[in-house]
A = this chain, B = another copy of it.
Amino acid sequence: MNPIEGLKGYVREIRELEAAAALAHWDQRTYMPPRGLEARAQVVGRLKRLAFERLVSPKLDQLLKEAEAGLDAGSELDRALVRHWRREHDRKRAIPPDLYQKFVETCSRAEAVWEQAKAKSDFAMFAPHLGEVVELVRKLAELLGYEEHPYDALLEEYEPGMRASRLKEVIEPLRAELVPLVQRLEEGSPPPARPAGPFPVPAQRALARKALELIGYDFSAGRLDDSVHPFTVGLGPGDVRVTNRYSEDDPFPGLFAALHEGGHALYDQGVPRELAWTGLDSGASFGVHESQSRLWENQIGRSLPFWQFFHHCLVEHLPAFRGTGPEEVWRMVCEVRPSPVRVEADEVTYNLHIALRFELELALIEGRLSVERLPERWNQAMESYLGIIPPDDARGVLQDVHWSGGMFGYFPSYMLGNLYAAQLMAAAEHAIPDLWDKVASGDMRPLLAWLREEVHAHGRIYPPEELMKRATGEGLTPRPFLDYLKRKYDWLFR
């Protein structure tokens, strides 16, 4: 057999096992009855272990060597395939199975304790567990290897090729411009008052569905269900599902979460069928994936043209908005107000939440900061970035699940997503002169077609930096994002 076909056949099994685990996970968070949890954990654990065993197996190494030997004559796709699996194999093989098992178990325990600690706003009970996780993550970083900084080894999991040094270069101008912008905006006039609720959940669900249809989500290849935390999951070609949650008091979190998850889902639905089961059938990175969700959530969903079209849908589903106009609603959803909580943050303050986390993660990984001093440092940074001090640790250092799960290096993906989204949108505006007229008439097809061609069609073939250069002419840069915010908020407060 052709070595590439041999490799494809082997990794296909890994991807199919991962798809089975992903379905089990989706079900767990949507429809599984409460007493099914224990058995489910067993089944998911088994599927993941089987996939992991195959990933680190000598057999895969052998298949990769055979494929690598003849790669000069291979296509771009073949090279990407071999590069992807070689990287995954070598990284994961560096971790002794016992240590990996210990890491998984420690995180699992830490996450359970975190949940209680957050509920009680009791950092002290969480600290020893977080300490264990940080120690293990530092050990893993050494094993995974890096050139410049141990944090790079962690970043590689989420954003291949990214470096801590590069992130610092990007964060510096962001911080320098965003902090004064936030202060300036706080002095501006407040947004229009929102209509009073309650906003019935079934109407919000229908509105979310409408929004997903509008942006081009294919319901014959997906579903929209309820869950406690919104998420998107791809279960193979033709099956990319979105979940969402709704609050009776405020219809916007549910609507923007739908657009956000819809953006993720459009990416997965747009990956070409020939990449199915290859491992290249996903986004280029977590950051690029986040760019697609942020683009539809913010660049589109928080634009005036979007509301010029969508306002009538809002009013139709939620008649409480009957007395408002499109621009008024747009002003409501663009409100800037520093909040201690990341997931409630607006477009302007959001990246400052990430900059803060990045700074603290670096200090923890470098060993410059002890877990015990984390709450103090968190609150200091919060005050210097956003001018507020969290009322308690639950809304401060304990707010996110990521650290308890060992996901150090993940947070920057959110910021990269915001920056990439602005870069892509600037390029799309250039390529599609009547883009905003189309959006204002409810026609998202030109923009989606552009994203399909420039981003989705490539799956994971190109590293993120290369993908961005191909699509926008430039690698990662904060400039389009800062320009976008200034243009928008200058206009809003003209």
Which residues on A are within 8 Å of B, measured CB to CB?
13, 16-17, 19-21, 23-24, 27, 31-40, 42-43, 46-47, 50, 218-223, 225, 235-239, 241, 276-277
Q: List 23 A-B contacts (CB under 8 A).
A: A16-B46, A16-B47, A20-B20, A20-B24, A20-B46, A23-B43, A27-B27, A31-B225, A33-B219, A33-B222, A33-B223, A33-B239, A34-B221, A35-B220, A36-B235, A36-B236, A36-B238, A38-B237, A39-B237, A39-B238, A39-B239, A40-B236, A50-B50
- Please indicate the chain B residues that have their CB under 8 angstroms from the CB of A43 in the complex: 16, 19-20, 23, 235-236
Indicate whether A35 sits within 8 Å of B218 (C-beta atoms), given known contacts A13-B46, A27-B23: yes
Copy number of this protein in the oligomer? 2
- Please indicate the chain B residues that have their CB under 8 angstroms from the CB of A223 in the complex: 31, 33
- Please indicate the chain B residues that have their CB under 8 angstroms from the CB of A47 in the complex: 16, 20
Bound state CA distance, A19 and B44, in angstroms?
10
Bound state CA distance, A31 and B17, in angstroms?
20
A39 adjacent to B276 (CB under 8 Å):
yes
Indicate whether A239 sits within 8 Å of B16 (C-beta atoms), given known contacts A23-B24, A27-B23, A276-B39: no
Name the distance in Å between A219's Cβ and chain B's nearest Cβ: 7
- Please indicate the chain B residues that have their CB under 8 angstroms from the CB of A39 in the complex: 19, 235-239, 276
Name the distance in Å between A471's Cβ and chain B's nearest Cβ: 27
Ranked nearest first, the 8 interchain pairs of A and B with the lowest CB-CB distance are A39-B236, A36-B239, A35-B238, A35-B221, A16-B46, A36-B238, A20-B20, A16-B43
Q: Which residue of B lies closest to A38 (CB)?
A: B238
Bound state CA distance, A282 and B318, in angstroms?
49
- Please indicate the chain B residues that have their CB under 8 angstroms from the CB of A46 in the complex: 13, 16-17, 20
A33 adjacent to B221 (CB under 8 Å):
yes
Q: Given A33-B220, A33-B221, list of 7 further CB < 8 A pairs?
A: A16-B42, A20-B20, A20-B47, A23-B27, A34-B221, A37-B238, A39-B238
Name the distance in Å between A18's Cβ and chain B's nearest Cβ: 10
Name the distance in Å between A435's Cβ and chain B's nearest Cβ: 29
- Please indicate the chain B residues that have their CB under 8 angstroms from the CB of A21 in the complex: 20
Q: Which residue of B lies closest to A225 (CB)?
A: B31
Bound state CA distance, A58 and B241, in angstroms?
40
- Please indicate the chain B residues that have their CB under 8 angstroms from the CB of A13 in the complex: 46
- Please indicate the chain B residues that have their CB under 8 angstroms from the CB of A220 in the complex: 33-35
- Please indicate the chain B residues that have their CB under 8 angstroms from the CB of A276 in the complex: 39
Q: Which residue of B lies closest to A276 (CB)?
A: B39
Bound state CA distance, A36 and B219, in angstroms?
11
Bound state CA distance, A171 and B223, in angstroms?
49
Bound state CA distance, A39 and B236, in angstroms?
6
Q: Which residue of B lies closest to A26 (CB)?
A: B27
Indicate whether A33 sits within 8 Å of B236 (C-beta atoms), given known contacts A19-B39, A20-B43, A42-B16: no
- Please indicate the chain B residues that have their CB under 8 angstroms from the CB of A36 in the complex: 221, 235-236, 238-239
**Most chain B CB within a 10 A radius of its CB, from A35, A218, A277:** A35
**Most chain B CB within a 10 A radius of its CB, from A13, A16, A218, A276:** A16
